[in-house]
């Protein structure tokens, strides 16, 4: 049957949702390109970690999440944030250190959170989000909210003690959490070959008695299929899972990376497996979209980004006198 050969995504989602997913991936890409351009023009302080090339992992992993669900994110978290529908303007405003930013200019790119939409925050500490995700799942279970928490983390984080401790606790308490490892082959300069004793990180699931799967992280449909199943399992009260999305960051680790640990060839090869091109191709081949639609999608994203940049640029800076607001409850507005 033709239908059984159809990719999971085409089978599982309506056209509108598929188009939306593509639109989000394009938006993430354009957003990060614009952030990169602003960074290079000196408008952004500090450092930033771009997820260009990893958009399918972010968007595919959030397909079956509902409003009540939570995610924890990482230093490479713009995609996760946008996948959950964050406001572009407030994100740029945060990059620009503005009072209208998601963290009122106090956190920057590495700490963006959108708590209203269930994003408990990016994290400057590798592995820092793992126990927090387990805690979020614990409260969902105790409070009976039915919420599932998706915990994003990188391959590098799987060697922190927090990873192992978190998976174990999630498993012994059967908590509704999905561990999504975005394996982009490197933790900064260290390849997983050198850093990690197992071939696939998903093998580590066995040590904590939970299902583990490794999928092509640049294939939107494959990601969605694996994570949807894990979310369903979590929601059904059957406990945690570990999904490993094999992907690649096309940019350096941060803006100061000189790519000495990998080859140009490797980067070029991965560029050919661009998740956006692949999803678009799939949607065209299944008649969900037409070849000509790309230009419109691009234009759409570009307009949104221009508006967001304008909003951010014209926003006020936080007041220096208010630097110590929000240290404790009761200081500052919220």
Partner 1 sequence: MPVEVIMPKVDMDMASGKILAWHVSAGDEVSKGDPLFDIETDKAAMEVESPGDGILRFPVDEGAVVQIGRPVGWIYADGEVASDPPGGIPSSKDEFRQSVPGEATADGSRNNISSGPDNISGKFRASPLARSLARADGFEIATIVGTGPRGRIEAKDVRNYQARRESEADTSDALAVSESASGTGTPIILLHGFASDAKSWTRLESNLGQRPLVRMELPGHGRSQILKAVGFPDLAATVRQTFDGLNLDKAHLIGHSLGGALLLDLANARPDLVASLTLIAPAGLGPEINGELLAGILRATRSESLGPWLKKLVADESLVTESYVQAAMRDRMEQSTRAAQEAMADALFPDGVQAFDLRAALARVEVPTRILWGKQDRMIQWNHALRAPGRVAIHLLDGIGHMPQIEAPEEVARIIEANL
Partner 2 sequence: MSGRSERVRGKLSYAEAIREALDIAMDRDERVVLMGEDIGVYGGAFQVTGDLFGKYGPERVIDTPISELGGAGVAIGAAMTGLRPVFEFQFSDFAALAMEQIVNQAAKLRYMLGGAVSVPVVMRFPAGSGTGAAAQHSQSIEAWLGHVPGLKVVQPSTPEDAKGLLLSAIEDPDPVMIFEHKLLYKTKGHVPRGHYETPIGEAALRRIGHSLTIVATSIMARKSLSAAEELARQGIHADVIDLRSIRPIDRETVLASVRKTGRLMCVYEGVKTLGIGAEISAMVAESDAFDFLEAPIVRLGGAECPIPYNPELEKSVVPQEPDILEAARNLVQGRI
Ligand X SMILES: Cc1ncc(C[n+]2csc(CCOP(=O)(O)OP(=O)(O)O)c2C)c(N)n1
**Rounded to the nearest whole angstrom, what is the least distance from the CB of residue 23 to ligand X in the complex?**
24
14 binds partner 1 (CB under 8 A): no
Between residues 176 and 318, which has the closer beta carbon with respect to partner 2?
318
C-alpha closest to that of 212 among 160, 173, 170: 170
Note whether 38 and 309 are within 8 A (CB).
Answer: yes
- Distances 6 to 10, 191, 280, 282 between C-alpha atoms, Å: 6, 34, 15, 10
Task: Give the single-character DSSP code of 173.
Answer: T
Tokens for 332, please give them: 């500052």
Identify the residue among 157, 178, 223, 279 touching ligand X (CB under 6 A): 157
Identify the residue among 97, 105, 156, 239 touching ligand X (CB under 6 A): 156
Site string for ligand X, 171-200 (x = CB under 6 A): -------------x-xxx------------
Hunting for tokens 């409003």 — which residue is that?
Answer: 67
Tokens for 182, please give them: 């975005």
**Rounded to the nearest whole angstrom, what is the least distance from the CB of residue 275 to ligand X in the complex?**
15
DSSP string, 67-121: TT-EEE--SS-HHHHHHTT--HHHHHHHHTT-TTSTTTTSS-GGG--BGGGTB--
Note whether 262 and 186 are within 8 A (CB).
Answer: yes
- Of all residues in this chain, which one has the CB nearest to ligand X in the complex? 154
CA pair distance 159, 129, nearest whole angstrom: 14
Residue 314, Cβ density class (10 Å: 0-12 exposed, 13-18 middle, ≥19 buried): exposed
Between residues 2 and 329, which has the closer beta carbon with respect to partner 1?
329
Identify the residue among 37, 125, 271, 323 touching ligand X (CB under 6 A): 125
Q: Which does 317 bind (CB under 5 to 8 A by kind): partner 2, ligand X, Mg ion, none?
A: partner 2
Identify the residue among 89, 127, 154, 217 touching Mg ion (CB under 5 A): 154
Binders of partner 1 among 269-328, rule CB under 8 A? 320-325, 327-328
Cα Rg for the chain, rounded, in angstroms?
Answer: 19
Between residues 139 and 195, which has the closer beta carbon with respect to ligand X?
195
Between residues 59 and 126, which has the closer beta carbon with respect to ligand X?
126
**Rounded to the nearest whole angstrom, what is the least distance from the CB of residue 34 to partner 2 in the complex?**
19
CA pair distance 311, 82, nearest whole angstrom: 17
Between residues 139 and 189, which has the closer beta carbon with respect to Mg ion?
189
Residues linked to residue 114 through DSSP beta bridges, in sequence order: 119
333 binds partner 1 (CB under 8 A): no
The span of 36-44, 101-109, 150-158, 165-173 binding ligand X (CB under 6 A) equals 150-158
Binders of Mg ion among 233-252, rule CB under 5 A? none
**Rounded to the nearest whole angstrom, what is the least distance from the CB of residue 55 to partner 1 in the complex?**
39
Alpha helices by DSSP H, listed for the chain, are: 2-5, 8-12, 15-40, 55-61, 78-83, 88-95, 129-143, 161-172, 192-195, 220-235, 264-271, 275-285, 293-313
C-alpha closest to that of 288 among 7, 16, 56, 28: 16
Q: Which does 111 bind (CB under 5 to 8 A by kind): Mg ion, partner 2, ligand X, none?
A: partner 2
**Rounded to the nearest whole angstrom, what is the least distance from the CB of residue 130 to partner 2 in the complex?**
12
Tokens for 134, please give them: 């387990």
CA pair distance 256, 187, nearest whole angstrom: 15
1 binds partner 1 (CB under 8 A): no
**Rounded to the nearest whole angstrom, what is the least distance from the CB of residue 8 to Mg ion in the complex?**
25
Query: Which residues of this chain interact with partner 1, rule CB under 8 A?
Result: 320-325, 327-328, 331-332
Q: Which residues bind ligand X (CB under 6 A)?
A: 75-76, 124-126, 154-157, 184, 186-188, 253
């Amino acid at each position: 049957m033709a239908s059984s050969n159809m990719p999971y995504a085409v089978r599982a989602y309506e056209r509108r949702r598929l188009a939306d997913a593509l639109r989000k991936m394009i938006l993430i890409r354009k957003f990060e390109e614009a952030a990169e351009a602003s960074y290079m023009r000196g408008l952004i302080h500090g450092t930033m970690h771009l997820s260009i090339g990893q958009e399918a992992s972010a968007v595919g992993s959030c397909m079956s999440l509902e409003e009540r669900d939570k995610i924890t994110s990482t230093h490479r978290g713009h995609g996760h944030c946008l996948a959950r529908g964050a406001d572009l303007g407030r994100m740029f405003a945060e990059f620009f250190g503005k009072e209208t930013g998601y963290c009122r200019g106090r956190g920057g790119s590495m700490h963006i959170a959108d708590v209203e939409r269930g994003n408990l925050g990016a994290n400057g500490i590798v592995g820092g989000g793992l126990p927090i995700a387990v805690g979020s799942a614990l409260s969902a279970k105790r409070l009976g909210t039915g919420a599932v928490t998706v915990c994003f983390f990188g391959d590098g984080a799987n060697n922190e003690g927090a990873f192992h401790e978190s998976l174990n606790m999630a498993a012994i308490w059967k908590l509704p959490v999905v561990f999504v490892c975005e394996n982009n082959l490197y933790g900064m300069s260290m390849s997983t070959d050198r850093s990690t004793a197992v071939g696939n990180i998903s093998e580590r699931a066995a040590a904590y008695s939970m299902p583990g799967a490794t999928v092509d992280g640049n294939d939107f449909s494959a990601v969605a299929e694996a994570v949807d199943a894990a979310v369903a399992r979590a929601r059904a009260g059957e406990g945690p899972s570990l999904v490993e999305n094999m992907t690649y960051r096309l940019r350096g680790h941060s803006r100061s990376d000189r790519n000495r640990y990998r080859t140009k060839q490797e980067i070029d090869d991965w560029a050919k497996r661009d998740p956006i091109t692949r999803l678009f191709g799939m949607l065209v081949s299944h008649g969900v979209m037409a070849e000509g639609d790309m230009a419109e999608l691009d234009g759409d994203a570009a307009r949104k980004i221009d508006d967001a940049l304008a909003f951010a640029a014209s926003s006020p800076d936080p007041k220096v006198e208010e630097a110590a607001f929000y240290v404790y409850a009761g200081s500052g507005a919220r």
